[in-house]
Amino acid sequence: MKILIVEDDPVSQKLLEKIVRREGYDQILANSEKGAWEIVKKEKVEMVITDWMMPEMDGLKLCRKIRQSNLPKYVYIILLTAKEQAEDAVAALDAGADDYIRKPFNPDELKARILAGKRIIELEENQKKANAQLLQTEKMASIGQLAAGVAHEINNPTGFVSSNLRTLTDYQNDLNNLIKHYRKLIKDLKESNRENLSPAIEKQLEQIASLEDEADINFILEDIIDLISDCEEGTARITKIVIDLKDFAHPGEDKIQSADINDGIETTLNVVWNELKYKATVNKQLGKLPMVKCYPQQLNQVFMNLFVNAAQAIEKQGEISISTRADNGFVEIKIEDTGSGIDKKNLGRIFDPFFTTKDVGKGTGLGLNVAYNIIKKHNGKIDVKSQVGKGTVFKIRIPV
Protein backbone atom coordinates (compact mmCIF):
# COMPACT_ATOMS: atom_id res chain seq x y z
CA MET A 1 0.00 0.00 0.00
CA LYS A 2 1.29 3.48 -0.93
CA ILE A 3 0.75 6.23 1.68
CA LEU A 4 1.17 9.96 1.05
CA ILE A 5 2.30 11.88 4.15
CA VAL A 6 1.43 15.60 4.00
CA GLU A 7 3.06 17.49 6.86
CA ASP A 8 4.84 20.87 6.88
CA ASP A 9 6.58 20.32 10.23
CA PRO A 10 9.88 18.44 9.60
CA VAL A 11 9.88 16.70 13.00
CA SER A 12 6.30 15.43 12.66
CA GLN A 13 6.95 14.42 9.05
CA LYS A 14 10.00 12.42 10.10
CA LEU A 15 8.05 10.62 12.83
CA LEU A 16 5.20 9.75 10.46
CA GLU A 17 7.64 8.53 7.81
CA LYS A 18 9.38 6.30 10.39
CA ILE A 19 6.09 4.72 11.57
CA VAL A 20 4.84 4.08 8.03
CA ARG A 21 8.17 2.61 6.89
CA ARG A 22 8.41 0.28 9.90
CA GLU A 23 4.95 -1.11 9.10
CA GLY A 24 6.17 -2.03 5.62
CA TYR A 25 4.21 0.52 3.57
CA ASP A 26 5.55 2.61 0.71
CA GLN A 27 5.57 6.33 1.56
CA ILE A 28 5.68 9.57 -0.40
CA LEU A 29 6.31 12.90 1.33
CA ALA A 30 4.83 16.34 0.72
CA ASN A 31 4.93 19.53 2.83
CA SER A 32 2.11 21.49 1.19
CA GLU A 33 -1.33 21.00 -0.30
CA LYS A 34 -0.12 21.98 -3.76
CA GLY A 35 2.65 19.39 -3.79
CA ALA A 36 0.33 16.78 -2.27
CA TRP A 37 -2.34 17.34 -4.91
CA GLU A 38 0.16 16.89 -7.76
CA ILE A 39 1.28 13.60 -6.20
CA VAL A 40 -2.31 12.37 -5.78
CA LYS A 41 -2.97 13.04 -9.48
CA LYS A 42 0.17 11.31 -10.73
CA GLU A 43 0.82 8.48 -8.26
CA LYS A 44 -1.42 5.56 -7.36
CA VAL A 45 -1.82 6.72 -3.75
CA GLU A 46 -4.20 4.60 -1.67
CA MET A 47 -4.01 6.51 1.63
CA VAL A 48 -3.28 10.11 2.64
CA ILE A 49 -2.20 11.12 6.15
CA THR A 50 -2.40 14.91 6.23
CA ASP A 51 -2.02 17.69 8.76
CA TRP A 52 -4.95 20.10 9.11
CA MET A 53 -3.01 23.35 9.40
CA MET A 54 -0.61 23.93 6.47
CA PRO A 55 0.54 26.92 4.40
CA GLU A 56 -1.34 27.84 1.19
CA MET A 57 -4.23 25.45 1.76
CA ASP A 58 -5.26 23.52 4.85
CA GLY A 59 -5.98 19.80 5.16
CA LEU A 60 -9.75 20.28 4.89
CA LYS A 61 -9.41 21.85 1.46
CA LEU A 62 -7.14 19.00 0.36
CA CYS A 63 -9.79 16.50 1.54
CA ARG A 64 -12.51 18.30 -0.44
CA LYS A 65 -10.32 18.47 -3.53
CA ILE A 66 -9.65 14.72 -3.41
CA ARG A 67 -13.32 13.89 -2.88
CA GLN A 68 -14.50 16.18 -5.67
CA SER A 69 -12.02 14.82 -8.19
CA ASN A 70 -12.66 11.86 -10.46
CA LEU A 71 -9.80 9.64 -9.29
CA PRO A 72 -9.67 6.05 -10.59
CA LYS A 73 -9.44 4.58 -7.07
CA TYR A 74 -10.78 5.54 -3.68
CA VAL A 75 -8.23 7.36 -1.48
CA TYR A 76 -8.52 6.83 2.28
CA ILE A 77 -7.78 10.03 4.26
CA ILE A 78 -6.59 10.34 7.88
CA LEU A 79 -6.57 13.92 9.18
CA LEU A 80 -4.14 14.98 11.94
CA THR A 81 -4.81 18.08 14.05
CA ALA A 82 -4.29 19.70 17.43
CA LYS A 83 -7.93 20.90 17.44
CA GLU A 84 -9.95 19.28 20.20
CA GLN A 85 -13.52 20.51 19.80
CA ALA A 86 -16.29 18.13 18.74
CA GLU A 87 -17.29 20.49 15.95
CA ASP A 88 -13.74 20.18 14.56
CA ALA A 89 -14.16 16.42 14.18
CA VAL A 90 -17.50 17.00 12.45
CA ALA A 91 -15.87 19.51 10.08
CA ALA A 92 -13.09 17.04 9.24
CA LEU A 93 -15.49 14.20 8.44
CA ASP A 94 -17.79 16.54 6.48
CA ALA A 95 -14.83 17.61 4.36
CA GLY A 96 -14.27 14.00 3.31
CA ALA A 97 -11.77 12.65 5.85
CA ASP A 98 -12.29 9.00 6.75
CA ASP A 99 -10.57 9.22 10.12
CA TYR A 100 -9.43 11.90 12.55
CA ILE A 101 -6.55 11.78 15.06
CA ARG A 102 -5.68 14.48 17.58
CA LYS A 103 -2.10 15.61 18.11
CA PRO A 104 0.05 14.65 19.85
CA PHE A 105 -0.83 11.17 18.62
CA ASN A 106 0.14 7.78 20.00
CA PRO A 107 2.19 5.82 17.40
CA ASP A 108 0.35 2.59 18.26
CA GLU A 109 -2.99 4.33 17.72
CA LEU A 110 -1.83 5.61 14.33
CA LYS A 111 -0.68 2.12 13.33
CA ALA A 112 -4.07 0.70 14.31
CA ARG A 113 -5.94 3.36 12.34
CA ILE A 114 -3.75 2.82 9.28
CA LEU A 115 -4.49 -0.91 9.52
CA ALA A 116 -8.21 -0.20 9.81
CA GLY A 117 -7.99 2.00 6.73
CA LYS A 118 -6.11 -0.71 4.86
CA ARG A 119 -8.92 -3.18 5.61
CA ILE A 120 -11.48 -0.74 4.24
CA ILE A 121 -9.40 -0.15 1.09
CA GLU A 122 -9.06 -3.90 0.55
CA LEU A 123 -12.78 -4.37 1.12
CA GLU A 124 -13.50 -1.68 -1.46
CA GLU A 125 -11.15 -3.28 -3.98
CA ASN A 126 -12.53 -6.75 -3.34
CA GLN A 127 -16.06 -5.44 -3.79
CA LYS A 128 -15.18 -3.85 -7.14
CA LYS A 129 -13.39 -6.97 -8.23
CA ALA A 130 -16.27 -9.19 -7.13
CA ASN A 131 -18.78 -7.03 -9.00
CA ALA A 132 -16.70 -7.15 -12.17
CA GLN A 133 -16.26 -10.89 -11.85
CA LEU A 134 -19.97 -11.43 -11.20
CA LEU A 135 -20.71 -9.50 -14.37
CA GLN A 136 -18.21 -11.65 -16.22
CA THR A 137 -19.77 -14.80 -14.73
CA GLU A 138 -23.22 -13.65 -15.80
CA LYS A 139 -21.89 -13.00 -19.29
CA MET A 140 -20.39 -16.49 -19.43
CA ALA A 141 -23.69 -17.96 -18.23
CA SER A 142 -25.45 -16.13 -21.06
CA ILE A 143 -22.88 -17.47 -23.52
CA GLY A 144 -23.61 -20.95 -22.19
CA GLN A 145 -27.32 -20.48 -22.89
CA LEU A 146 -26.55 -19.17 -26.36
CA ALA A 147 -24.23 -22.11 -26.98
CA ALA A 148 -27.11 -24.54 -26.49
CA GLY A 149 -29.17 -22.70 -29.11
CA VAL A 150 -26.23 -22.38 -31.50
CA ALA A 151 -25.47 -26.06 -31.09
CA HIS A 152 -29.06 -26.89 -31.99
CA GLU A 153 -28.91 -24.66 -35.07
CA ILE A 154 -25.62 -26.19 -36.21
CA ASN A 155 -26.94 -29.70 -35.70
CA ASN A 156 -29.77 -29.27 -38.24
CA PRO A 157 -27.67 -28.29 -41.31
CA THR A 158 -24.98 -30.78 -40.27
CA GLY A 159 -27.66 -33.48 -40.32
CA PHE A 160 -28.81 -32.84 -43.84
CA VAL A 161 -25.22 -32.34 -45.10
CA SER A 162 -24.39 -35.79 -43.71
CA SER A 163 -27.52 -37.22 -45.31
CA ASN A 164 -26.69 -35.60 -48.66
CA LEU A 165 -23.14 -36.95 -48.52
CA ARG A 166 -24.47 -40.48 -47.99
CA THR A 167 -26.80 -40.06 -50.98
CA LEU A 168 -23.95 -38.55 -53.01
CA THR A 169 -21.84 -41.60 -52.22
CA ASP A 170 -24.58 -43.86 -53.62
CA TYR A 171 -24.83 -41.70 -56.72
CA GLN A 172 -21.07 -41.77 -57.19
CA ASN A 173 -20.98 -45.55 -56.92
CA ASP A 174 -23.65 -45.79 -59.63
CA LEU A 175 -21.77 -43.33 -61.84
CA ASN A 176 -18.49 -45.17 -61.34
CA ASN A 177 -20.19 -48.41 -62.38
CA LEU A 178 -21.70 -46.75 -65.44
CA ILE A 179 -18.40 -45.12 -66.44
CA LYS A 180 -16.71 -48.49 -66.05
CA HIS A 181 -19.08 -49.98 -68.63
CA TYR A 182 -18.70 -46.98 -70.95
CA ARG A 183 -14.93 -47.35 -70.87
CA LYS A 184 -15.15 -51.07 -71.56
CA LEU A 185 -17.38 -50.37 -74.57
CA ILE A 186 -14.86 -47.81 -75.89
CA LYS A 187 -12.03 -50.27 -75.42
CA ASP A 188 -13.93 -53.01 -77.26
CA LEU A 189 -14.78 -50.67 -80.12
CA LYS A 190 -11.14 -49.67 -80.49
CA GLU A 191 -10.05 -53.31 -80.57
CA SER A 192 -12.71 -54.30 -83.13
CA ASN A 193 -12.34 -53.97 -86.89
CA ARG A 194 -12.02 -50.20 -87.12
CA GLU A 195 -12.83 -50.33 -90.89
CA ASN A 196 -16.47 -51.00 -89.90
CA LEU A 197 -16.65 -47.80 -87.75
CA SER A 198 -18.02 -44.66 -89.29
CA PRO A 199 -15.78 -41.57 -89.38
CA ALA A 200 -18.14 -39.85 -86.91
CA ILE A 201 -17.80 -42.66 -84.35
CA GLU A 202 -14.04 -42.79 -84.92
CA LYS A 203 -13.82 -39.05 -84.22
CA GLN A 204 -15.89 -39.36 -81.00
CA LEU A 205 -13.63 -42.14 -79.74
CA GLU A 206 -10.59 -39.93 -80.29
CA GLN A 207 -12.29 -36.99 -78.49
CA ILE A 208 -13.22 -39.19 -75.49
CA ALA A 209 -9.66 -40.53 -75.24
CA SER A 210 -8.30 -36.97 -75.38
CA LEU A 211 -10.71 -35.72 -72.70
CA GLU A 212 -9.84 -38.65 -70.40
CA ASP A 213 -6.15 -37.87 -70.70
CA GLU A 214 -6.70 -34.16 -70.16
CA ALA A 215 -8.94 -34.60 -67.12
CA ASP A 216 -6.92 -37.52 -65.64
CA ILE A 217 -10.17 -39.42 -65.17
CA ASN A 218 -8.58 -42.22 -63.11
CA PHE A 219 -7.39 -39.75 -60.49
CA ILE A 220 -10.78 -37.99 -60.39
CA LEU A 221 -12.70 -41.22 -59.84
CA GLU A 222 -10.42 -42.16 -56.93
CA ASP A 223 -10.26 -38.65 -55.43
CA ILE A 224 -14.04 -38.11 -55.42
CA ILE A 225 -14.42 -41.06 -53.05
CA ASP A 226 -11.67 -39.66 -50.78
CA LEU A 227 -13.22 -36.19 -50.78
CA ILE A 228 -16.62 -37.52 -49.83
CA SER A 229 -15.03 -39.63 -47.09
CA ASP A 230 -13.22 -36.55 -45.70
CA CYS A 231 -16.48 -34.57 -45.69
CA GLU A 232 -18.29 -37.36 -43.87
CA GLU A 233 -15.51 -37.49 -41.28
CA GLY A 234 -15.67 -33.69 -40.85
CA THR A 235 -19.45 -33.62 -40.38
CA ALA A 236 -19.18 -36.51 -37.91
CA ARG A 237 -16.67 -34.45 -35.90
CA ILE A 238 -18.94 -31.38 -35.99
CA THR A 239 -21.81 -33.53 -34.77
CA LYS A 240 -19.69 -34.91 -31.92
CA ILE A 241 -18.56 -31.42 -30.88
CA VAL A 242 -22.14 -30.14 -30.98
CA ILE A 243 -23.41 -33.03 -28.86
CA ASP A 244 -20.63 -32.48 -26.30
CA LEU A 245 -21.29 -28.73 -26.30
CA LYS A 246 -25.00 -29.28 -25.69
CA ASP A 247 -24.14 -31.58 -22.78
CA PHE A 248 -22.02 -28.81 -21.24
CA ALA A 249 -24.56 -26.05 -21.88
CA HIS A 250 -27.51 -28.08 -20.57
CA PRO A 251 -27.73 -28.28 -16.79
CA GLY A 252 -28.78 -31.91 -16.89
CA GLU A 253 -30.49 -33.89 -14.16
CA ASP A 254 -29.05 -33.44 -10.70
CA LYS A 255 -28.88 -37.17 -10.11
CA ILE A 256 -26.00 -39.49 -9.44
CA GLN A 257 -25.21 -41.77 -12.36
CA SER A 258 -22.66 -44.46 -13.12
CA ALA A 259 -20.10 -42.98 -15.47
CA ASP A 260 -16.73 -43.73 -17.05
CA ILE A 261 -14.32 -40.95 -16.01
CA ASN A 262 -12.17 -41.58 -19.08
CA ASP A 263 -15.17 -40.91 -21.35
CA GLY A 264 -15.76 -37.64 -19.52
CA ILE A 265 -12.13 -36.61 -20.02
CA GLU A 266 -12.29 -37.42 -23.76
CA THR A 267 -15.55 -35.49 -24.16
CA THR A 268 -14.14 -32.49 -22.33
CA LEU A 269 -10.95 -32.51 -24.41
CA ASN A 270 -13.12 -32.49 -27.52
CA VAL A 271 -14.98 -29.40 -26.32
CA VAL A 272 -11.90 -27.39 -25.27
CA TRP A 273 -9.55 -28.66 -27.98
CA ASN A 274 -9.38 -25.25 -29.66
CA GLU A 275 -8.02 -23.80 -26.38
CA LEU A 276 -5.30 -26.44 -26.16
CA LYS A 277 -4.10 -27.31 -29.66
CA TYR A 278 -2.08 -24.13 -30.28
CA LYS A 279 -0.44 -24.11 -26.84
CA ALA A 280 0.31 -27.68 -25.86
CA THR A 281 0.92 -31.26 -26.83
CA VAL A 282 -1.59 -33.36 -24.90
CA ASN A 283 -0.27 -36.67 -23.55
CA LYS A 284 -2.83 -39.17 -22.29
CA GLN A 285 -2.31 -42.26 -20.15
CA LEU A 286 -5.84 -43.32 -19.31
CA GLY A 287 -5.89 -46.52 -17.29
CA LYS A 288 -8.68 -49.04 -17.00
CA LEU A 289 -11.23 -47.62 -14.54
CA PRO A 290 -14.32 -48.93 -12.78
CA MET A 291 -17.60 -47.09 -13.27
CA VAL A 292 -18.00 -44.27 -10.76
CA LYS A 293 -21.19 -43.09 -9.07
CA CYS A 294 -21.04 -39.36 -9.73
CA TYR A 295 -22.51 -36.26 -11.35
CA PRO A 296 -20.81 -36.65 -14.76
CA GLN A 297 -21.48 -33.15 -16.11
CA GLN A 298 -20.16 -31.56 -12.94
CA LEU A 299 -16.93 -33.58 -13.12
CA ASN A 300 -16.59 -32.58 -16.78
CA GLN A 301 -16.79 -28.97 -15.62
CA VAL A 302 -13.87 -29.64 -13.26
CA PHE A 303 -11.83 -31.17 -16.08
CA MET A 304 -12.66 -28.27 -18.39
CA ASN A 305 -11.54 -25.67 -15.82
CA LEU A 306 -8.27 -27.49 -15.19
CA PHE A 307 -7.52 -28.06 -18.89
CA VAL A 308 -8.14 -24.41 -19.79
CA ASN A 309 -6.10 -23.20 -16.80
CA ALA A 310 -3.24 -25.47 -17.86
CA ALA A 311 -3.29 -24.06 -21.40
CA GLN A 312 -3.41 -20.47 -20.16
CA ALA A 313 -0.43 -21.12 -17.86
CA ILE A 314 1.70 -22.06 -20.87
CA GLU A 315 3.15 -18.93 -22.44
CA LYS A 316 4.32 -20.28 -25.80
CA GLN A 317 4.41 -24.04 -26.26
CA GLY A 318 4.37 -26.82 -23.70
CA GLU A 319 2.82 -30.09 -22.63
CA ILE A 320 -0.30 -31.14 -20.75
CA SER A 321 -0.24 -34.68 -19.37
CA ILE A 322 -3.43 -36.44 -18.27
CA SER A 323 -3.39 -39.77 -16.47
CA THR A 324 -5.98 -41.88 -14.67
CA ARG A 325 -5.81 -45.01 -12.56
CA ALA A 326 -7.86 -47.07 -10.13
CA ASP A 327 -6.51 -47.19 -6.57
CA ASN A 328 -8.17 -49.02 -3.64
CA GLY A 329 -11.75 -47.93 -4.21
CA PHE A 330 -10.78 -44.56 -5.66
CA VAL A 331 -10.29 -43.20 -9.13
CA GLU A 332 -7.25 -40.92 -9.37
CA ILE A 333 -6.95 -38.24 -12.06
CA LYS A 334 -3.71 -36.33 -12.52
CA ILE A 335 -3.46 -33.25 -14.75
CA GLU A 336 0.03 -31.82 -15.19
CA ASP A 337 1.27 -28.86 -17.24
CA THR A 338 4.66 -27.33 -18.05
CA GLY A 339 3.38 -23.79 -17.56
CA SER A 340 4.56 -20.84 -15.52
CA GLY A 341 3.64 -22.39 -12.16
CA ILE A 342 2.01 -20.82 -9.09
CA ASP A 343 3.83 -18.71 -6.53
CA LYS A 344 4.01 -20.30 -3.06
CA LYS A 345 2.26 -17.33 -1.48
CA ASN A 346 -0.77 -17.94 -3.73
CA LEU A 347 -0.99 -21.75 -3.46
CA GLY A 348 -3.07 -21.59 -0.28
CA ARG A 349 -5.59 -19.22 -1.88
CA ILE A 350 -6.19 -20.65 -5.35
CA PHE A 351 -9.40 -22.44 -4.29
CA ASP A 352 -10.83 -19.28 -2.67
CA PRO A 353 -13.78 -17.69 -4.50
CA PHE A 354 -12.86 -14.70 -6.69
CA PHE A 355 -9.13 -15.19 -6.16
CA THR A 356 -7.31 -14.78 -9.46
CA THR A 357 -4.03 -13.36 -10.72
CA LYS A 358 -5.60 -12.73 -14.14
CA ASP A 359 -7.18 -9.53 -15.40
CA VAL A 360 -10.97 -9.24 -15.37
CA GLY A 361 -12.29 -10.84 -18.52
CA LYS A 362 -9.49 -13.40 -18.57
CA GLY A 363 -10.48 -15.16 -15.38
CA THR A 364 -13.40 -14.96 -12.97
CA GLY A 365 -11.59 -16.38 -9.95
CA LEU A 366 -14.39 -18.96 -9.71
CA GLY A 367 -13.05 -21.85 -11.80
CA LEU A 368 -10.91 -23.54 -9.16
CA ASN A 369 -13.40 -22.74 -6.40
CA VAL A 370 -16.13 -24.44 -8.44
CA ALA A 371 -13.82 -27.40 -9.06
CA TYR A 372 -13.00 -27.67 -5.35
CA ASN A 373 -16.68 -27.63 -4.34
CA ILE A 374 -17.66 -30.22 -6.96
CA ILE A 375 -14.92 -32.61 -5.84
CA LYS A 376 -15.92 -32.01 -2.21
CA LYS A 377 -19.54 -32.81 -3.16
CA HIS A 378 -18.28 -36.17 -4.46
CA ASN A 379 -16.50 -36.83 -1.13
CA GLY A 380 -13.25 -36.58 -3.03
CA LYS A 381 -10.06 -34.58 -2.68
CA ILE A 382 -8.15 -32.23 -4.95
CA ASP A 383 -4.50 -31.35 -4.28
CA VAL A 384 -2.07 -29.11 -6.10
CA LYS A 385 1.70 -28.97 -6.33
CA SER A 386 3.48 -26.26 -8.27
CA GLN A 387 6.86 -24.75 -8.91
CA VAL A 388 7.33 -21.36 -10.54
CA GLY A 389 8.85 -21.77 -13.98
CA LYS A 390 8.35 -25.56 -13.96
CA GLY A 391 4.61 -26.18 -13.97
CA THR A 392 1.68 -27.39 -11.92
CA VAL A 393 0.14 -30.75 -11.04
CA PHE A 394 -3.47 -31.20 -9.90
CA LYS A 395 -4.37 -34.57 -8.41
CA ILE A 396 -8.01 -35.57 -7.90
CA ARG A 397 -9.20 -38.62 -5.97
CA ILE A 398 -12.86 -39.64 -6.15
CA PRO A 399 -14.36 -42.63 -4.35
CA VAL A 400 -15.92 -45.18 -6.69
Residue (of 302, 306, 303, 268) closest to 374 by Cα position: 302
Q: What is the pLDDT of residue 152?
A: 61
Measured distance CA(388)–CA(345) in Å, rounded: 11
Which bin fits 334, alpha (ψ -120 to 50), beta or left (φ > 0)? beta
Rg over alpha carbons for the chain, rounded to the nearest Å, is 36
What are the tens digits of pLDDT across the range 129-153?
776 666 556 555 545 555 655 666 6
Query: In sequence order, which residues have a C-beta less than 8 Å from that of residue 359 and are 6 or more positions away?
Result: none
Q: What is the pLDDT of residue 244?
A: 66
Query: Higher-confidence residue: 318 or 365?
Result: 318
Residue (of 129, 142, 73) closest to 363 by Cα position: 129
What is the reported pTM? 0.46
Do the beta carbons of residue 53 and residue 32 sit within 8 Å?
no
Read off the pLDDT band of 297 (50, 70, 90): confident
Tell me which long-range contacts 218-221 makes (C-beta under 8 A, separation of at least 24).
Answer: 221/176, 221/179
Q: Tell me, letter by letter, the H, E, C secondary structure of the chain.
A: CEEEEECCCHHHHHHHHHHHHHCCCEEEEECCHHHHHHHHHHCCCCEEEEECCCCCCCHHHHHHHHHHCCCCCCCEEEEEECCCCHHHHHHHHHCCCCEEEECCCCHHHHHHHHHHHHHHHHHHHHHHHHHHHHHHHHHHHHHHHHHHHHHHHHHHHHHHHHHHHHHHHHHHHHHHHHHHHHHHHHHHHHHCCHHHCCHHHHHHHHHHHHHHHHHCHHHHHHHHHHHHHHHHHHHHHHHHHHHHHHHHHCCCCCCCEEECHHHHHHHHHHHHHHHHCCCEEEEEEECCCCCEEECHHHHHHHHHHHHHHHHHHCCCCEEEEEEEEEECCEEEEEEEECCCCCCHHHHCCCCCCCCCCCCCCCCCCCHHHHHHHHHHHCCCEEEEEEECCCEEEEEEEEEC
Dmax over CA atoms of the chain, in Å, equals 131
Do the beta carbons of residue 184 and residue 192 sit within 8 Å?
no
9-18, 25-34, 139-148, 350-359: least confident range: 139-148
Q: In the predicted model, what is the mean pLDDT of the chain?
A: 81
What are the tens digits of pLDDT across the range 202-251?
787 778 778 777 777 778 777 888 888 888 877 777 777 776 666 655 55
Average pLDDT on 332-340 reads 92
Model confidence at 159: pLDDT above 60:
yes
Average pLDDT on 110-127 reads 86
* Residue percentage of the chain with pLDDT more than 70: 86
Q: What is the pLDDT of residue 320?
A: 93
Torsion, CA 258, CA 263, CA 269, CA 272, rounded to 10: -40
Measured distance CA(355)–CA(374) in Å, rounded: 17
**What angle (nearest 5°) sits at the alpha carbon of residue 138, between those of residues 135 and 144?**
145
